[in-house]
A = this chain, B = another copy of it.
Amino acid sequence: MSTFDMHAWSQAHLRSIEQALQGWVPPQAPAQLGEAMRYAVLDGGKRLRPLLVLASMEACSPQPTAWTLDAAMRAACAIELIHAYSLVHDDMPCMDNDVLRRGKPTVHVQFGEAQALLAGDALQTLAFELLTPEHSNIPAAVQARLCGLLARAAGHAGMAGGQAIDLASVGQRLSADALRQMHRCKTGALLEVSVVMGAVAAQAPDATVQHVLHYGQALGVAFQVVDDILDVTADAAALGKTVGKDAANDKPTYVSLLGLDGARAEASRLADQAQQALGQSGLKNTAALEAVADWVLQRQN
């Protein structure tokens, strides 16, 4: 086991991600749209998805070319924009009606509902702009594949579909399978596609992409289980958002289904599964991916 300094790794990569987002989320968009977009994206968030993209790219391509680095950073930021847009729309009064996010007023509280709706829409579109730069050495085949992967993960069969199931599930008692299916779409699809897009930016062979996908699938479910645990155990200050809101909204969660101890055991089992997938991949440079899985299990917010 080599010594891997996750703190140094993530600090360096977080700086690059913030810098890239600062440059790409447009300040010049008209009539406060740019301000609302930047407010939604910059200066906040764990950047888990971007870090996953970069960790996966590095695992698959220890000596990346300049265009691979560019493609991976664009993929990292594009996924973060999709994540950010989904939070903006999710927080709106007609959805979760949340007023606090990352310790700040939500976008619709700060800029009004109409601007929040537009900013979310424009953040989604911007993700596909980032993946298709006008002058670039990123091969067109990689650009097209990244667009296709992101669209499938974000759309009706992925994140948006999961949100629709979530909407319909309020007040319902779901089976473990149905709950897992909802989260596989709602949260899992975007986490999975993060590692897959990193591997595609690195032009990894299909077999490697499959192993990385299995890691992402286990990690995605683990992330949601931990989210449900934190919703009942964390305090608002640490979490930076309203706590206990799932129970208040009568939403099914892993905790309501499995109990707190059962949910903790499930998270631990899934983290092991993620580590196993990495072991089977044959990839050598997986320390960052392993560390992210540990962090997901142990995070406090």
- Residues of B close to A151: CB separation below 8 A: 125-126, 128-129, 132
The residue on B at minimum CB distance from A125 is B155
Range, interface on chain A? 35 or more
Say whether B26 contacts A118, CB under 8 Å.
no
Using an 8 Å CB-CB cutoff, how does the interface string of A46-78 with B read, 1 for contact, 0 for none?
A: 000000000000000000000000000000000
Say whether A115 contacts B160, CB under 8 Å.
no
List A111-136 residues whose CB lies under 8 Å from chain B.
112-115, 117-118, 120-122, 124-126, 128-129, 131-134
Q: Which of B31, B86, B94, B139 contacts A168 (CB 8 A)?
A: B31
The residue on B at minimum CB distance from A153 is B125
Which of A13-21, A140-148, A215-223, A264-272 is found at the contact surface with chain B? A140-148
A237 adjacent to chain B (CB < 8 Å): no
A258 adjacent to chain B (CB < 8 Å): no
The residue on B at minimum CB distance from A120 is B121
Most buried by B among A121, A124, A134, A148: A121
- Residues of B close to A133: CB separation below 8 A: 148
Q: Given A26-B156, A31-B168, A164-B32 in contact, is the A129-B148 Cβ separation under 8 Å?
A: yes
A244 adjacent to chain B (CB < 8 Å): no
List A1-31 residues whose CB lies under 8 Å from chain B.
26, 29-31
A154 adjacent to chain B (CB < 8 Å): yes
Q: How distant is A171 from chain B, measured CB to nearest CB, in Å? A: 14
- Residues of B close to A240: CB separation below 8 A: none
A274 adjacent to chain B (CB < 8 Å): no
Complex Cα spacing A121 to B147, Å: 16
A248 adjacent to chain B (CB < 8 Å): no
The residue on B at minimum CB distance from A162 is B30
Q: How distant is A132 from chain B, measured CB to nearest CB, in Å? A: 3
- Residues of B close to A155: CB separation below 8 A: 122, 125-126, 129
Say whether B29 contacts A122, CB under 8 Å.
no
Say whether B122 contacts A161, CB under 8 Å.
yes
A214 adjacent to chain B (CB < 8 Å): no
A92 adjacent to chain B (CB < 8 Å): yes
Q: Given A114-B95, A147-B143 in contact, is the A122-B160 Cβ separation under 8 Å?
A: yes
A33 adjacent to chain B (CB < 8 Å): yes
List chain A positions with a Cβ less than 8 A from chain B: 26, 29-34, 37, 85-86, 89, 92, 94-95, 112-115, 117-118, 120-122, 124-126, 128-129, 131-134, 139-141, 143-145, 147-148, 150-152, 154-157, 160-161, 163-165, 167-168, 185
Besides the contacts A94-B113, A115-B164, A122-B156, what 14 more A-B pairs have beta carbons closer than 8 Å?
A30-B168, A30-B185, A33-B164, A89-B118, A89-B121, A117-B117, A121-B121, A128-B128, A129-B151, A132-B145, A140-B140, A143-B144, A144-B147, A147-B147
Q: Which 6 A-B pairs have the closest CB atoms?
A: A132-B148, A125-B155, A94-B113, A33-B164, A29-B156, A31-B168
